[in-house]
Amino acid sequence: MSIFDSSSTTPIVINFSSKDRVGGTNSNFISKPIDLGINKYDSVCLIQSSIPRSFYNIPTNYNTFRISEPTGSKNFLVTIPVGSYNKINLASVLATTMTAASLASGNGWTYTCSYPSALVGDTFKYTFAVSGNATQPSFIFTTAMFRQMGFEENTTYAFTSSSLVSVNCINLAYITRAFIKSNVCLNAQDGILEEILNYGSYPMLSLAYYQQVAFDLNTRTYNDSAINSWSFTLVDSFDQIIDLNGIPWSFSLVFYKRNDTHELHKNELLISNEERLFKIMEEQTKVKEQIASVSEPQPTFQQIAPSYTSSTAEMLQPIFEQQPYGLSETIFQLPTIPTIETKPNP
């Protein structure tokens, strides 16, 4: 059964591309106006999308953290050059950048960053060390660089014995899920039109392709307002805009009028099922009543015990008269045996 009603409103599929935008950027744009005619659409759903993985794992505006060096009350900003890094070259860039920032602050402490070698077990963590220091420094994270370095957001971490190890595994994948947010839909949580769950499974500089498999489940309420141009924003799981670095992305939407017939059919099936169950319960009750009516009642003690008449009682009298023990010394009274006299033979 179809989920759309085409009797009066025919579904329409519209293709969108960020390169055809009338405003904004590739990652956050306003679409060109779309003429949907006089159709009474009430639903919208994403059909497919092609999104490039061209973002940096250390992007603009999310590439800084602070270091506190108590000597001289130094608290300075460390800025990592924007780009895409792996675990080895990021360790080298971190050490160089932190040492340069300390030198610029006036202290001149030397920092190193190391990753487990191929000869030992991989912990997926960085080990930071400092030398030339008089006191112990601290890393201060807000909303940037904490994932890549293996720490928590909005937290300060102090060195111990001039060393500090990442508390979490470093995360250079950075973006594993993508969300398309838009005002084309209503009543959607956080304005999310669709979640691209497999976005992180594609290699860098490739296209992450998504194909809709559950239209009924992922349909959103169409924003039936007077506008015919909508905003579309691509964000990660931290609600940060994914910068595609100038490469456009595209997707398709279907607009349609939802078919209420399948809802009515579902309700009819539910009611029919309830009626069937009720009839089964009635039949069971009738069978129980019939069994109870035809079964013989269990005999009572009075019915089991035999009834005695006076003649029966006389027949059951003992041959020898017996008295209860303790009431008489004589338990049994035997009849007297007559004496027989004997005469001598003549």
What is the predicted pLDDT for the residue at 1? 44
- Please name the residue that has the structure tokens 């990592």: 80
> Do 44 and 180 share a domain, yes or no?
yes
Let me know: does 233 contact 75? Beta carbons within 8 Å. no
In a domain, 142, yes or no: yes
Which tens digit of pLDDT belongs to each residue from 68-117?
999 878 899 999 999 999 999 999 999 999 999 999 999 999 999 999 99
Domain's final residue, options 116, 144, 165: 165
pLDDT attached to residue 224: 83
pLDDT of residue 344: 57
Q: What is the predicted pLDDT for the residue at 275?
A: 82
Boundary residue ending a domain (124, 142, 165): 165
Question: What whole-number distance in Å separates Cα of residue 340 and Cα of residue 338?
Answer: 6
Q: How are strands ordered across the β-sheet holding 155-158?
A: 74-79, 64-69, 138-141, 155-158
Confidence (pTM):
0.68
- Give domain status of residue 232, yes or no: yes
- pLDDT of res. 5: 61
CB contact burial 47-79 (16+ within 10 A = b; e otherwise): bebebbbbbbbbbeebbebbbbbeeeebeeebe
**Last residue within a domain, chosen from 142, 165, 188:** 165
Residue 158 has phi, psi (to 5 degrees) of -95, 145
How many other C-beta atoms lie within 10 A of the C-beta of residue 44? 23
Residues 179, 35, single domain; the answer is: yes
212 occurs within a structural domain = yes
> Does any domain span residue 322?
no
Report the distance separating Cα 333 and Cα 320, nearest Å.
7
What DSSP designation does 265 have?
H
Based on the domain organization, do 151 and 190 belong to the same domain? Answer: no
Beta bridge partners of 221: 43, 186
151, 139 Cβ separation under 8 angstroms: yes
70 and 19 share a domain?
no
Task: Using alpha carbons, select from 4, 3, 1, 61 the residue that is nearest to residue 27.
Answer: 61
CA angle 318, 320, 321 (to 5 degrees): 85
Residue 271 falls inside a structural domain: no
The whole domain housing 75 covers 64-165
Q: What is the CATH number of the domain that holds 42?
A: 2.60.120.1100
Same domain, 82 and 160: yes
State the average pLDDT for the chain.
Answer: 85
Are both 206 and 126 inside the same structural domain? Answer: no
pLDDT in tens, 9-56: 788 999 999 999 999 999 999 999 988 877 788 899 999 999 999 999
Residue 343 lies in a domain: no
Q: Which helix (H) or strand (E) holds 95?
A: helix 87-105
According to the model, what pLDDT value does residue 311 have? Answer: 58
Q: How many residues does the chain have?
A: 346
Q: Are 227 and 253 members of one domain?
A: yes
Query: Same domain for 159 and 179?
Result: no
Total structural domains within the chain: 2
Residue 207 in domain? yes
Q: Token match 């920092």: residue?
A: 111
> Hunting for tokens 């078919």 — which residue is that?
259
Residues 145 and 183 in one domain: no
First to last CA, the chain: 135
Q: Which residues in the chain come in under a pLDDT of 70? A: 1-8, 226, 260-267, 295-346
Are both 23 and 114 inside the same structural domain? no
Q: For residue 104, give the H/E element and its range.
A: helix 87-105
- pLDDT attached to residue 180: 97
